[in-house]
């Protein structure tokens, strides 16, 4: 077998995103990657990503619709990319078994998932495909909390040196190795067949979760979340969850403001947490039932105020019990979880876009005190406010760093 030699990126100032398509690919999943990463821009209006469509053999690729696509790039581009996205192919995904990929494809995926310069074994010695120690000090190089420390329900590295560092942010030295690989929907079967998910937590489309768990028993399957972030390896649920995953990766690279602008251009919600429910019992408002959307819109204009559950319920003319049940049916979250997430989002924006102190940001975001903001920020994002600001914005007023 001829080894896959990584291609040379064409734009050294951008991160390369390779979308690996196979016969039967879902056009929506391919398109959403191009749309989201392709519209991400720096403050100067420069593209932040170079998105390339790749295939095991470049050329004509069938889709699950009545039209084909053409993939110009091959596995060398996959092996060299900073980010690899694997969308679903319902023709083949669910028939995959451990070790069932062509070796050339498996090697390209293992190379893409490994740190640059790492020795990538071609055999089964290391099922994750990189010569690294196993356990919590894995390819991400940082300890990963697996318990309630991360309230989003996704595994995220802790501390300021994590994978959320932005490349090219003002006053920030880019990460040396931003490489990662991700799947959308049943693309997770491909990553698992390559051995990249062994010993890791992952998700897939809820309708395929049972088969996925039976086929790949070494993977810890979480069928109820939108996406799982395991550092270098990320997986998402069905098609729409791929949007959330892509926005999460853009946010991790370049901050909340860039991701929010991409979402605004695409007319999608800027942020749904990875731990949010995949399948919501009543996602569309039923005729004759009152929605909680009015109180949510009302709350977003009053985040600085000490809102209570009773006030939210009263705004929609419901009892607290009915409101709480209806809210979870519509969002997959409790009202307090949702409100806390929106306040963290607001704090992120203020940290990125202003020189305000932590105490002032805490007041404007509705946390009341700097201590409360620090606690919620650390629990939700795995980093303190000061480290987040340093990552995505650098220092505040000249000579002054945010107090943590």
Can you read off the two tokens belonging to residue 15?
């991160």
* CA–CA distance, 29 with 48 (Å, rounded to integer): 20
Give dist(CA 145, CA 156) in Å, integer.
Answer: 7
Q: How confident is the model at residue 138 (pLDDT cuts 50, 70, 90)?
A: very low
Distance in angstroms (rounded) separating the CA atoms of residues 93 and 245: 20
Q: Nearest-CA neighbor of 241 among 189, 276, 196?
A: 276
* Residues contacting residue 311 through CB under 8 Å, at least 6 positions apart: none
Alpha helices in 9-70 (DSSP H): 27-38
- The Cβ of residue 268 has, within 10 Å, a number of other Cβ atoms equal to 18
Calpha distance 364→305 (Å, rounded): 8
Please tell me the distance from the alpha carbon of residue 115 to that of residue 19, in angstroms, as a whole number: 19
162 contacts 383 by C-beta, under 8 angstroms: yes
CA distance 24 to 97: 18
Average pLDDT over residues 111-124: 71
Average pLDDT over residues 300-320: 94
- 88 to each of 23, 205, 271, how far by Cα in Å? 10, 10, 23
Residue 332: per-residue pLDDT:
78
Is residue 266 over pLDDT 60?
yes
Average pLDDT on 228-244 reads: 92
Query: Regarding predicted confidence, which is higher, 286 or 254?
Result: 254
322: three-class secondary structure by DSSP:
helix
Least confident of 116-125, 179-188, 198-207, 285-294: 116-125
CATH of domain 336-392: 1.10.10.60
Q: Mean pLDDT highest for which of 32-36, 132-136, 327-331, 377-381? A: 32-36
Residue 288 in this model has a pLDDT that exceeds 50 = no
The whole-number pLDDT of residue 271 equals: 60
Tokens, residue 82: 């900073």
Alpha-carbon gap, residue 16 to 333, rounded angstroms: 34
Instruction: Give residue-wise pLDDT tens across range 268-284.
Output: 876 665 545 444 443 44
More confident residue, 381 or 134: 381
Q: Is the pLDDT of residue 69 over 70?
A: yes
What pLDDT is attached to residue 121? Answer: 56
The pTM of this model reads 0.66
Q: Give 79-98 pLDDT, tens digit per residue.
A: 999 999 999 998 999 999 99
Tell me, what DSSP letter sits at residue 50? E
Question: Confidence band (pLDDT; 50, 70, 90) for 6?
Answer: low
Contacts with 245 (C-beta within 8 Å, 6 or more apart), sequence order: 182, 184, 226, 227, 234, 236, 274
Q: Say which residue the tokens 């926005």 belong to.
A: 247
CA-wise closest residue to 190 among 58, 276, 80, 91? 91
326: tokens are 């209806």
Residue with tokens 């790749």: 54
Neighbours of 169 (CB within 10 A): 21
Per-residue pLDDT, 270: 66
Q: Give the span between the Cα atoms of 58 and 22, in whole angstroms.
A: 10
Q: How far is CA 394 from CA 120, 278, 354, 397, in A?
A: 35, 35, 11, 10
SS3 state at 388: helix
Query: Would you put residue 209 in left (φ > 0), alpha (ψ -120 to 50) or beta?
Result: alpha
Q: What is the mean pLDDT of the chain?
A: 79
CATH 3.40.50.880 fits 15-266, yes or no: yes
> Counting Cβ atoms within 10 Å, is residue 41 exposed (0-12), middle (13-18) or buried (19+)?
middle
Tell me the domain boundaries of the chain: 15-266, 293-331, 336-392
Which pLDDT value is given to residue 390?
Answer: 81
Least confident of 63-72, 139-148, 183-192: 139-148
Do 71 and 58 form a contact (C-beta atoms < 8 A)? yes
Fold identical between 15-266 and 336-392?
A: no
Q: How many CB atoms lie under 10 A from the CB of residue 380?
A: 21
Model confidence at 15: pLDDT above 90: yes
The SS3 assignment for 330 reads: helix
pLDDT at 116 over 60: yes
User: How much is the average pLDDT of 182-194?
Assistant: 97
b/e code 298-329 from CB counts within 10 Å (16+ = b): ebeeebeeebeeeebbebbebeeeebbebbbb
């Amino acid at each position: 077998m001829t080894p896959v030699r990584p291609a040379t990126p064409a734009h050294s100032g951008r991160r390369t995103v390779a979308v690996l398509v196979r016969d039967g690919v879902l056009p929506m999943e391919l398109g959403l990657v191009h749309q989201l990463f392709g519209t991400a821009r720096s403050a100067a209006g420069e593209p932040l990503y170079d998105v390339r469509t790749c295939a095991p053999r470049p050329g004509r690729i069938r889709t699950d619709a009545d039209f084909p696509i053409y993939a110009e790039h091959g596995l060398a581009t996959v092996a060299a990319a900073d980010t690899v996205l694997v969308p679903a192919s319902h023709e083949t995904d669910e028939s995959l078994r451990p070790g069932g990929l062509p070796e050339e494809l498996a090697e390209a995926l293992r190379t893409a998932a490994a740190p640059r310069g790492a020795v990538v074994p071609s055999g089964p010695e290391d099922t994750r495909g990189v010569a690294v120690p196993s356990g919590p000090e894995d390819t991400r190089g940082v300890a990963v909390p697996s318990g309630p420390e991360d309230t989003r329900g996704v595994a995220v590295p802790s501390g300021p040196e994590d994978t959320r560092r932005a490349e090219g942010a003002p006053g920030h030295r880019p990460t040396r190795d931003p490489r990662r690989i991700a799947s959308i929907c049943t693309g997770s079967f491909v990553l698992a067949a390559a051995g990249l998910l062994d010993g890791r937590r992952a998700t897939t489309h809820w309708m395929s979760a049972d088969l996925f768990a039976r086929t790949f028993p070494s993977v810890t399957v979480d069928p109820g979340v939108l996406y799982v972030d395991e550092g270098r390896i990320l997986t998402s649920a069905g098609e729409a969850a791929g949007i959330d995953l892509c926005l999460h990766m853009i946010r991790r690279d370049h901050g909340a403001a860039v991701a929010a602008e991409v979402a605004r251009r695409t007319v999608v919600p800027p942020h749904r947490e990875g731990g949010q429910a995949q399948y919501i019992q009543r996602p569309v408002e039923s005729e004759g039932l009152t929605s909680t959307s009015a109180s949510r819109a009302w709350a977003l204009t009053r985040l600085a105020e000490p809102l209570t559950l009773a006030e939210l319920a009263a705004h929609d003319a419901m009892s607290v019990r009915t409101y709480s049940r209806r809210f979870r049916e519509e969002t997959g979250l409790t009202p307090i979880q949702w409100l806390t997430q929106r306040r963290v989002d607001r704090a992120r924006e203020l940290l990125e876009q202003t020189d305000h102190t932590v105490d002032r940001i805490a007041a404007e975001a509705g946390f009341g005190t700097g201590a409360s903001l620090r606690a919620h920020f650390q629990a939700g994002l795995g980093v303190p406010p000061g480290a987040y600001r340093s990552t995505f914005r650098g220092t505040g007023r000249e000579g002054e760093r945010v107090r943590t």
